[in-house]
Amino acid sequence: MKPPIQNIPYNALEIGMEAQQVRTLNADDLYVFANSSGNFNPMHLPDKDGDGDGQVEALAPGLWIGSLISAVLGCQLPGPGTVYHSQTLRFVGRAFAGDTLTIKLRLTAKGDNRLVKFDTWVEAADGSRVLEGEAEVYAPEKAMSFDVDDLPGLTVRRHVHFERLLARAEPLPPIPTAVVAPERPDALAGAILGADHTLIDPILIGDPGKIAEAAEQRGLDLNGYRIIDLPDHQQAAARAVQLVNDGQAAAVMKGHLHTDILLGEIIKRNTGLRTKRRLSHVFVMDVPGLDHLLMVTDAAINISPDLMAKADIIQNAIYLAHALGIKEPKVGVLSAVEKINPAIPSTLDAAILSKMAERGQIKGGLVDGPLAMDNAINLKAAATKNIRGLVAGRAQILVAPNMEAGNMLAKELTYLAHAETGGIVMGAKCPVILNSRSDDDQARLASCAIAALYAEYKRK
């Protein structure tokens, strides 16, 4: 809990009184200021080159720094009840994202009508001044205290985890990727965007006329891309699988065709891409405000998986987590409740899967269940229900009891919690990028990055 803020009324103020605060400027501060002020000058955004010198500036807006002075006046000296009369600002230095600033003020004069004057300045970490000036404010008449614990918080819709994945994936060699039926603008644009970021090297398989039309609609240049003329979607999917088996492709990407046509070719016993593990889909989600990636499985392939299918689903997700840099992922096996109830079969499966992980039948991660959604991802909820362990409240992988629950969970996070979503099919000989028709370009780009990282993990 935050302590209440208290003021010093006019009669208790004395010349020479001082106050200060320390504040570190982070990237989210720049986004918040841009949105609240309407000032979108790229000089003050954390990911833009505002002056064309090839470098990101991330320069602190002058009035953001000035607002820090009002925070000390309004919260400390004189504190709550203070109202501005005037403020001068002289900018004698610069501050950038990541800098730690110390905001200081000193009372220099008391006048009539509770008007008081302060010297104000802001220092960088080395003590040099960034800003200096004078403030005149009307001090509060009587002592007051305010509780600030109930103020609403802010969550910036920024996807820093995917930014890190892209930064890891872009230096890797692009993986040859068989793109099946990229015959609509969104499907083609996703593949070309992945190529632009050097994540994939697309091999376009489908109707050349439709592919060209899709390119024209989005203004895409197809020069340099290999196009295989196969208008029939089943034949195109079969050729993609053949390219992988022949070593000419290291990933498959779904374009504008039915998922069951593509998967039907992938799971063929003799000519497909099957392995000993069952295929499953893993959504990788960057949820604003969450300090780690969140994975949801299976929400796209296995409708009502049995116990052994769930074991494969978990193992697939754990391997993908390893590829994304999570050494020992925490896996929460979800149900409606956290206690075993024979009337709810998913609780029995969850308990057995947890024991299977303990005995080494599922490797590479910590598995616990049954867990309800709240106590899987929230430590306070887990503690309230007296659920102990390394997974409860900290789950990085959420295993849904069936496809319906997983699909609803993933889409709720996408459309209500503003998560950015990528994902691939696991359990085949290569990663399969299974985009939805509703995916935006960023989701398709994220899926390409995930596939590239997993392909590198398999190669090593």
- Residue 316 counted as domain residue: yes
Instruction: Give the residue-averaged pLDDT of 437-451.
Output: 86
Question: And the tokens for 247?
Answer: 């070593």
Instruction: Give the residue-averaged pLDDT of 385-391.
Output: 92
pLDDT of residue 283: 96
Q: What is the pTM of this model?
A: 0.83
Q: What are the DSSP calls for 158-209, one per residue?
A: --HHHHHHHHHHTTSPPEEEEEE---SHHHHHHHHHHHHTTSEEEEEEE-HH
**pLDDT tens track for 345-373:** 999 999 999 999 999 999 999 999 999 99
- Residue 283 counted as domain residue: yes
Q: What are phi and psi of 80, to 5 degrees?
A: -50, 135
Could you tell me what percent of the chain has a pLDDT over 90? 85
How remote is the C-alpha of 415 from its chain's centroid?
14
**pLDDT tens track for 86-113:** 999 999 999 999 999 999 999 999 999 9
Amino acid letter for position 80: P
- Residue 237 counted as domain residue: no
Instruction: Give the residue-averaged pLDDT of 418-442.
Output: 89
pLDDT band at 215 (very low <50, low <70, confident <90, very high): very high
The yes-or-no verdict on residue 229 having pLDDT over 80 is yes
**pLDDT tens track for 290-316:** 889 999 999 999 999 999 999 999 999
Angle between helices 307-323 and 345-358 (to 10 degrees): 50
For the chain, what is the domain count?
2
Q: Can you give the CATH number for the domain in which 46 is found?
A: 3.10.129.10
Q: Domain range spanning residue 63?
A: 5-146
d(CA 450, CA 371): 27
Q: Can you give the CATH number for the domain in which 329 is found?
A: 3.40.718.10
Instruction: Give the residue-averaged pLDDT of 114-126.
Output: 96
- Residue 34 counted as domain residue: yes
- Residue 214 counted as domain residue: no
pLDDT of residue 157: 75
- Residue 102 counted as domain residue: yes
The yes-or-no verdict on residue 122 having pLDDT over 80 is yes
Pick from 371, 307, 368, 383: nearest CA to 339: 371
The yes-or-no verdict on residue 151 having pLDDT over 80 is no
pLDDT band at 201 (very low <50, low <70, confident <90, very high): very high
- Residue 271 counted as domain residue: no
- Residue 17 counted as domain residue: yes
